[in-house]
Structure 1
Amino acid sequence: MPEHLRPALLFVTLLGACSDSGDNPPHTAAPNPFADPANAPRVTTPVYAMPDFIDGACTVDDNGVSYLQAMALTDPTDPRADDFNGEFIGGDGWGLHLVDMTLTLGDLVALGAQQAEAWLQDR
């Protein structure tokens, strides 16, 4: 299997195994030019942005539990793919849990730097 397809293996396996609609599973569909790594711009930084693709907000449920609610914003008129490798499709309520750290990584790195600086100042 080509290296660039390996992250999608879980997605392909689950849909291929669970679909009884008779439609071709996604991995047998015609190639999509947006999924071809040769057509993608090279990422030259440790982080990158996908504006208006993921939305999130701090939420408090009826029991007073607070959490980050995040969702992929799919748009059939947007040329980007609407499926997202970080979206868990094996059960209800998981959403983007597989990418929690990635979604907040920039903030967590900045927080770590602030905490390290505060710790050093106290020494």
Structure 2
Amino acid sequence: MAERLEDLNLPNAVVTRIIKESLPDGVNIGKEARAAVAKAASIFILYITSTANTIAKKGKRKTISGTDVIQAIEEIEFDQFLEPLQEALENFKKSQKEKKDATTKRKQQKKDDEEVEEIVCEDAE
């Protein structure tokens, strides 16, 4: 758990980048508004996490899953976020699988290369 209340806040640089990407060019946001958005986002995340944790506990689990977060979004009636969240979760799973497959392929290629090198060394003797 966080030692200080400030530890629960999102990093200002991240919040600023997200806000700037969301606004049209030429539109600025004041320091107070940026702080308010950061605080609201932090509170929202804590609320979703708490709700998802309750869902996980009902399922007799200690780990919150992506499905728990989706159910939490439904439970707190933020249905407009369901589709984008489900898409983001699918994209995340897909990218994780691609990374895993690439790692497996690299390891297999390295193993194959070592076997070929071993055979070449044996033939040279």
Give the TM-score category using the shorter length. Answer: 0.3 to 0.5
TM-score (ref. length: structure 1): 0.33
More helix by share: 2
Q: Whose radius of gyration is greater, 1 or 2?
A: 2
TM-score (ref. length: structure 2): 0.33
